[in-house]
Chain A
Amino acid sequence: MNRTLRNPIAIGIIAILLLILLVSTVSIVRETDQAVIVRFGQPERILNRYQPGEQYGAGGAGIALRVPFLEQIVWIDKRIQSITMENQQVLSADQQRLEVDAYARYRIVDPLRMYVSARSAENVSSQLQPILSSALRNELGRQPFAALLSPERGQVMENIQTALNRVARQYGAEIVDVRIKHADLPSGTPLDSAYERMRTARTQEARSIEAQGSRQAQIIRADAEAEAVATYARAFNQDPDFYDFYRAMQSYQMSFVADTPTGQPPRGRTSIILSPNNEYLRQFRGGGGGGR
């Protein structure tokens, strides 16, 4: 006894054996795990099963014992997990193509059923993935394109969740949420035509803004002209006869004595031929008086 214990190799071997025994008997179930104890392939009992609304520290997490070598332990994540669906082309009811990314969040709530039907958590996720895709396709295919963009989308999502949940329950999973991440027009013709529509809408807006601007400008001009006309009329209407004379004088001066800008040749000489009977030459003729 004493000899054996003092032999380091023997101690080592015993320690290793004990360790193996310990590891295959005692396991630690974390808060984030659920576990199914399986004996010869038959599920025996469930550890730390998910309970809705449970308090941490009050559940089944902690040390778990099992019969070594006879019983295996199958670990199942207790947390909410996600499956994603990337870039699926979906045809809406009115034959519009949409490129959709979606995700579903789920939790294994019935580890036993999950173990019986899928054996491992990875299998559940890979089983649910195509189902999410087809449920989404079915439901979106029933909706017109506009509904996918509108607040009615909530109802669509609920329908998908219900459909997906029906299948997920068979795997002991519960769908917490299904949501569309992206719903985009596929690149190529649909996106290009949307761009074209946006472009033409903007061009239309630009044109209408410009037209409104020039309309307003014209109105402003016309208003000003009308005001000027009124101003002139008010002033000149005091004595139309005098206005005629006054304006004629201004006009003669403007026409015949037009100032040419300095440094440029005059615009041409004007010749005036006056008849002696002209009013201006009345005194020149020596006629005098005011008569002709």
Chain B
Amino acid sequence: MIRIFGRGARDGASLSDNRGGPWGPGGGGDDGGSGGGPRNPWGQRRRKPSPGGGGGGDGGPGPFDELLRKGRERFGGGFPSDGRPYWLYGLGVILVLWILFTSVWQISPQERGVVTAFGRYTQTIGPGVGFSLPAPFGHVAKFDVQGIRTISIPTSGENLILTGDQNVIDLAYSVRWTIKNPELFAFQIADPEATIRDTAESAMRSAIARVTLDDAIGAGRADVSQRVQANMQQLLDDYGSGVQVEGVAINQSGPPEAVNQAFLEVSAAQQRAQSAINNARSYALQLTARAQGEAAAFDRVYVQYRAAPAVTRRRMYYETMERVLQHVDTTIVEAPGVTPYLALPEIQRRAAELPQPQGAPAQ
């Protein structure tokens, strides 16, 4: 066993000297040549027996033929034709690549890597290049510690919550969170996302249960979201979840659809009340202005009147009578002995005729 491994390793080493040669085409011919790491070499191994067993000559003009040919040139005929050297050759390459791909880790600036060796936590590495044991023995779990994640509740539909005064409101909110401690986040909680969601719902409902309906849909919202955030943080810290709650935002908070009309009615009533008050104010303005106007007019006239009461009085009387009697039918009954004939029908007829001259031109 040991001897075989030794040779395998040596073969691997000699191959790596030759890396530019066979590996260029070798990689290119394989499953579209993706740089997918260790999986590609495995595919190669499976195919290996076919060119080995069937002989290099009759295979297609694939890159393996090239590889085989070069190998044969290098090692001459000193090896049996059962293909074992190539088998080891490949194995060594695979091993090197495997180690390379599974033990070197690139950590982006916003990430932290939690390193485990044989399942045991060893360290948390920062941005840059980090190392771990190769694949089955070591692992690095990368966590984005700066990206803010958002959980929205509810995902769809109405989210009815009971308030402290036993009313029902429809509430939509979102929780923003980040990973504060990657080790705890990786090891403590079985399903962190669901845990945060559950915690949020529970904290929100207990916070809403403390406030009245009017607070929940109005002025108390900021207070509620702060309380939820503090409560969630405390719960998640108690669980040791390694999660930092960055904020809770209430996106929408209102009455349920079924009673929305009644709530709209309230604001309509407020509008109506306001407009009634406005009407009253404008009436009041008119009324007081008119009173002031009339009073002022009276004052002015009265000042002049006092200067010459008798004359002014008569003048005003005559002027008014003049204006009045200009516009009316006047009958004067002269003698006391004459019974006045009051031609009422005549007057009415004249009154009826009067519109006609106006109507005639119109026809």
Contacts and interface: CB of A to CB of B under 8 A. Distances in A.
Interface of A: 5-6, 8, 11, 28-33, 56-57, 59, 61-63, 77-82, 84, 103, 105, 145-146, 149-151, 153, 176-177, 179-185, 191, 194-195, 197-199, 201-203, 205-207, 209-210, 212-214, 216-218, 220-221, 223-225, 227-229, 231-232, 234-236, 238-239, 242-243, 245-246, 249, 252-253, 256-257, 265-266, 268-276, 279-281
Given A80-B190, A246-B298, A231 B291 contact: yes
Contact of B205 (A182, A224, A225, A272): A182
A206 B350 CA distance: 58
28 contacts: A28-B118, A28-B119, A32-B186, A56-B121, A57-B120, A78-B187, A79-B189, A82-B190, A82-B195, A149-B163, A151-B210, A179-B202, A181-B198, A181-B201, A181-B205, A198-B255, A217-B277, A220-B281, A220-B283, A221-B284, A231-B291, A242-B302, A245-B317, A252-B321, A271-B330, A271-B331, A280-B321, A280-B325
Nearest to B299: A235
B116 A31 contact: yes
B332 A269 contact: no
Interface in B58-115: 80, 82, 84, 87
Contact of B168 (A32, A198, A207, A232): A198
Contact of B239 (A145, A177, A195): A177
Interface string B305-342: 11001000100111011011111111111110000101
A161 B238 CA distance: 15
B239 A176 contact: yes
Given A203-B265, A212-B273, A82 B118 contact: no
Interface in B188-221: 188-191, 194-195, 198-199, 201-202, 205-206, 209-210, 213
B313 A245 contact: yes
Contact of B209 (A150, A199, A265, A271): A150
B84 A146 contact: no
Contacts of A80: 188-190, 195, 239-240
A6 B195 contact: no
B83 to A, nearest CB: 8
Given A198-B167, A269-B350, A270-B329, A217 B265 contact: no
A225 B285 CA distance: 10
Contact of A61 (B119, B279, B295): B119
Interface in B329-363: 329-335, 340, 342, 347, 350-351, 354-355, 358
Q: Shortest 9 CB-CB distances between A and B: which pairs?
A: A213-B273, A224-B284, A235-B295, A228-B291, A217-B280, A206-B269, A202-B262, A30-B119, A56-B121
B226 interface: no
Contacts of A224: 283-285, 287-288
B39 interface: no
Contact of B340 (A33, A176, A236, A273): A273
Interface in B20-42: none
A242 B162 contact: no
Given A210-B272, A227-B291, A276-B332, A6 B84 contact: yes
Interface string B140-178: 000000000000000000001111101110000000000
A273 B183 contact: no
Nearest to B208: A149
A145 B256 CA distance: 21
B252 interface: no
A30 B305 contact: no
B295 A231 contact: yes
A245 B316 contact: yes
B313 to A, nearest CB: 6
In this complex, the member of A235, A239, A276 whose beta carbon has the largest number of chain B beta carbons within 10 angstroms is: A235
